[in-house]
Structure 1
Amino acid sequence: MGKAGDNGFLRFRLRQALTERSAASRGVVAAGGPVVADPRSVADAPYPGDQQMIDYYDARAPEYDDWYLRRGRYARGAIHDAAWNAELDAAGRWLDALPWSGEIVEIAAGTGWWSPLLASRGELSLYDASPAALERARERLVAHKLRAHLHVRDAWAEPDRAVDGLFMGFWLSHVPRDRLHDFLGLARRWLKPGSRLAFIDSLPDSASGAADHPAPADDLALRRLADGREFTIVKVYYAPDELAAALTEAGFTGVEVTATGRFFLLGSARAT
């Protein structure tokens, strides 16, 4: 999430987390502790076409949080922005209510909006293929005095271990339909039996993106940065029942995929 001052729920939640979990043996919330930064090369070569997305998020990193905070081109007026903020807070409460513990991996972490919450619950590793986005995530964690491991790593890199929890924020919508089954299989390999997968993603609402973005078509979106540069990226608006069926087919159990209303999908499942 953003810095605590931007969000009343996060302000309360992190204050409570810093008090209650400062002595935890794993995923320590250290009032003066540094972020553990260990940049590495992207572990596996991206699939053809993925470099465009990496380049886009690297270039967008300085302005990415404008989307969350409804600033600049993302401001849509008081009514729309109030609805957005209410649903964003609801997504945060949902994520916080999940029983995270142990070792948690966040893939395609971007600028780390959700990372402080996860870092307060377990030993967090953040992975993203964009070094610029990870640097923003590092700054966010430092601001919250939280500890995590940061690695430059493609979301499609084969897991190197099995962990207790896996989270993805706004990543599944960048997975093409014909590769969704393969990716969910990879996600399953990240997890110990019985461990949790969770994700937050986008619903197709025209007020979600920037005012100067054209509507996505054919699972592709034209994205324009503040400086005028344009990128075409994969953007698939999966329906809740579509993702639920795909997760079940991939071998997950306890699958739940719901929506906050207009803007966000919320999903969780357990590995078998």
Structure 2
Amino acid sequence: MNANGIITLTTDFGLQDMFVGVMKGVMLGIAPDARLVDITHDLPNQSVDAADFVLAHSASYFPPGTTHMVVVDPGVGTARRMIAVACNGQFFVAPDNGALSSVLREADCPVIHEITNANYFTPSPVGNTFHGRDVFAPIAAHLAAGVAIEELGPRVDDPVLRPELSPDVSPGRLVGRITYIDKFGNAMTNITRADISTAFARAKCTATAGPQTSRLVSTYTDGAPGTELIALINSWGLIEFAVNQGHAAQFADLTVGQEVMLGSSDK
């Protein structure tokens, strides 16, 4: 597999500080022709699950040979592993903390290497608080510039995987969880379009999050502006709770990990 020079960045650093800019400077010093793409730097602090979700719903939209760098690293400076992965026609660089769980589960024969070869780190001493600068950014840049993944360190056969939370699917009933809340307050779940077809066939259904039962609608504008919690199948094929021109998470006190249910409706 040949790298194409594109490097994506997914972090929880935000843009207030110098962290993202410094990582980009390191990358461009190694691979001056690299094309850097920000997926997001606004993940919730230390949320490995959010990193996993975002990358799982982003990586496939990039061309073959793209290098994806993820830095959401609560264990920075500890003995936790750092890994580079080649799978699905792309490269991934991340701490081995489960941030690549969904990518690895969907991969066909992933090649995984621990990152140990200090020849590809920054030349200055590696600190204990900013491996994004000292390790992940230079490794991503070297991969994007054509360095073979085998050069980075030994093979890994046991990457850390987060628990896979599949919905409970039965005829006329679905129980899932909120997995991600976006900037607009829309609460995405792990319930898919296919799950709904399995559980309900031709029957109509309603969705419940906490004490509120919602209509399953087609678009945001089907809900009363600002005053009604609705559910719909979003563009990722997932059940999502939303408020038309409002913030569903605040409106209904929704949180990541909260249980939600879809049930049959007679209406």
Range into which the TM-score falls when normalised by the shorter chain: under 0.3
* Higher relative helix content: 1
Greater strand share, 1 or 2?
A: 2
- Greater RCO structure (CA 8 Å; 6+ sep): 1
TM-score, with length taken from structure 2: 0.27
TM-score (norm 1): 0.27
Structure having the higher Rg: 2
